[in-house]
Structure 1
Amino acid sequence: MRNIHIKSMDESNLLMEWPGAISKDIMKEIAAWQHAIEKNLGHLIIECFAAYRSLLITYDHQQIDAEDLEIELLKLPIDRKKFRTKKWAVPVCYEEEFAQDLLPYCDAKKLTKKSIIKLHTAPLYDIHFYGFLPGFMYLGGLDEKLAIPRKSNPDAKIPAGSVAIGGNQTGIYPTQSPGGWHVIGNSPIPLFDITLDPPCPFSPGDHIKFKAISKKEYLKTKEEVTNGTYKYQKA
């Protein structure tokens, strides 16, 4: 474990910060800490917010103060090896009707559609944290060949389920929203449902594998989602 810097932000928030560059190892440590905190100190914690190199802990200041919470944190048994993560398969249809930016993206990258799909579905992506929108996963692992600057003029409406690339990241828009990433496909599965516990099907520290599907498979999956029979698939 690295030397972690812990500081009080206000009477209800404590920030844990990890030194060094963004990495898979730091992601695993943050996920292990979050799991241990929620498991052992859940009665004191309101919520934990993970980022690439930090973990913000919102706690009930009427039960504990920052100094005592830090003491409790340092007592926690953190074993990254015992923290189990899962690998999930996420279906994506890369047909042009679901991928508004795919053809111009191909031109910009000087790559064929087939090459882009192959490169995009090859990695096992790491879920570092959720942010921007409820259910929006910040993923690590995009092939450098696919990196592209974000759009200078963002789109007003990106459809829910849009799989996109911006900078050196890829992600899925869980709901319709404005956005400046390049849309190369669409996933038919839900990524955020406030009626479920937890509302997001995947956890920080888990891994995502994109799986290319046909339009027929896409529509079939959409129907399963609508009927409530869809089950998330392990990779």
Structure 2
Amino acid sequence: MNFKPLGDSALLVSFGEIIDEKTNDKIHSLAKAIEKASFEWLIEVVPAYSSLAVMYDAALIDFEGVKRAIGELEFSAERFEGKLVEIPVVYGSSYGPDLEFVAQYNGLTPDEVIEIHSKPVYRVYFLGFLPGFAYLGGMDERIATPRLEKPRLKVPAGSVGIAGKQTGIYPLESPGGWRIIGRTPLRLFNPEKEPPTLLQPGDRVKFVPIDEEEFLRLYREEWVDD
């Protein structure tokens, strides 16, 4: 484990720069161990791909004290796996305006992009950027595509995008520079539910292609009839 300060009331615990499931398992196992220890100075732990941010009360402890406490914890990197969530997606047309570009950029047809994108079972490494925005691992590099040079001012909630070697889903309408290839009718963030986010770290995600008729039916159930 490598430690470095984040301001005067947080530190970052890192396990290197490699993004893989084993490293992420270590991160979540350490996060559980820290939370289980119930340190009085602990405010919050925030996991990422291969690092963990630990927020603490600087009036009760300093960086060296937190570093020492975490270093003394015993934990094992257990397999971190949550539920399997199927995400229906209508690909292309107005729902996925960048599908054609992704296909052309990678020398593929739009149907091939859809097949490649919907084949894997992705892992939710962590949530960030927006409430419920899941950073997914496991995308096939054959459809890796750079971000837009100029981000869009509005990306609809549910938009499924590609940025470099990553894929993700916008849980809320927001600006964004990911290449949008489709859209899901599911509601990924609902503050009236507990938990408010559909996806959690460790969950597995499977994209399922649907047609526009099915999209509209599910959209009414999720957003209109709710």
TM-score bracket, normalised by the shorter chain, equals 0.7 to 0.9
Alignment match, 1:198: 195
1:167 equivalenced with 2:160 (yes/no)? no
Deviation at 1:134, TM superposition (A): 2.2
After TM superposition, the structure 1 stretch with the greater mean CA deviation from structure 2, 101-110 or 75-84, is 75-84
Alignment match, 1:233: none
Deviation at 1:128, TM superposition (A): 1.8
Alignment match, 1:6: 3
Alignment match, 1:49: 46
Distance 1:42 1:220, change over 3 A: farther
Alignment match, 1:107: 104
After TM superposition, the structure 1 stretch with the greater mean CA deviation from structure 2, 199-208 or 36-45, is 36-45
Judge conservation of contact 2:14–2:50 (CA < 8 Å) in 1. Answer: yes
Alignment match, 1:32: 29
Q: TM-score, normalised by structure 1?
A: 0.84
Judge conservation of contact 2:42–2:55 (CA < 8 Å) in 1. Answer: yes
Distance 1:43 1:114, change over 3 A: farther
Deviation at 1:84, TM superposition (A): 4.3
The 5 Å alignment of 1:117-156 reads 117-156=114-153
* SS of aligned partner of 1:142: coil
Once residues 129 and 77 of structure 1 are traced to their aligned partners in structure 2, the CA distance between those partners, rounded to angstroms, is 23
Structure 1: gaps spanning 5 or more residues: 229-235
Once residues 104 and 11 of structure 1 are traced to their aligned partners in structure 2, the CA distance between those partners, rounded to angstroms, is 45
Aligned length: 225
Distance 1:84 1:104, change over 3 A: closer
Distance 1:189 1:82, change over 3 A: same
Q: TM-score, normalised by structure 2?
A: 0.87
Once residues 31 and 41 of structure 2 are traced to their aligned partners in structure 1, the CA distance between those partners, rounded to angstroms, is 13
Once residues 160 and 30 of structure 1 are traced to their aligned partners in structure 2, the CA distance between those partners, rounded to angstroms, is 29
Once residues 211 and 39 of structure 1 are traced to their aligned partners in structure 2, the CA distance between those partners, rounded to angstroms, is 37
Judge conservation of contact 1:95–1:215 (CA < 8 Å) in 2. Answer: no
Amino acid at match of 2:3: I
Once residues 21 and 89 of structure 1 are traced to their aligned partners in structure 2, the CA distance between those partners, rounded to angstroms, is 27
Once residues 209 and 82 of structure 1 are traced to their aligned partners in structure 2, the CA distance between those partners, rounded to angstroms, is 19
Let me know the Cα RMSD of the aligned residues: 2.3
Once residues 42 and 93 of structure 1 are traced to their aligned partners in structure 2, the CA distance between those partners, rounded to angstroms, is 46
Amino acid at match of 1:50: P
Amino acid at match of 1:86: K
Once residues 82 and 115 of structure 1 are traced to their aligned partners in structure 2, the CA distance between those partners, rounded to angstroms, is 32
Deviation at 1:162, TM superposition (A): 0.6
Indicate the percent of aligned positions where both proteins have the same amino acid.
39
Name which of 192, 195, 211 aligns with 2:208. 211
Name which of 67, 70, 79 aligns with 1:70. 67
The 5 Å alignment of 1:182-193 reads 182-193=179-190
The 5 Å alignment of 1:89-104 reads 89-104=86-101
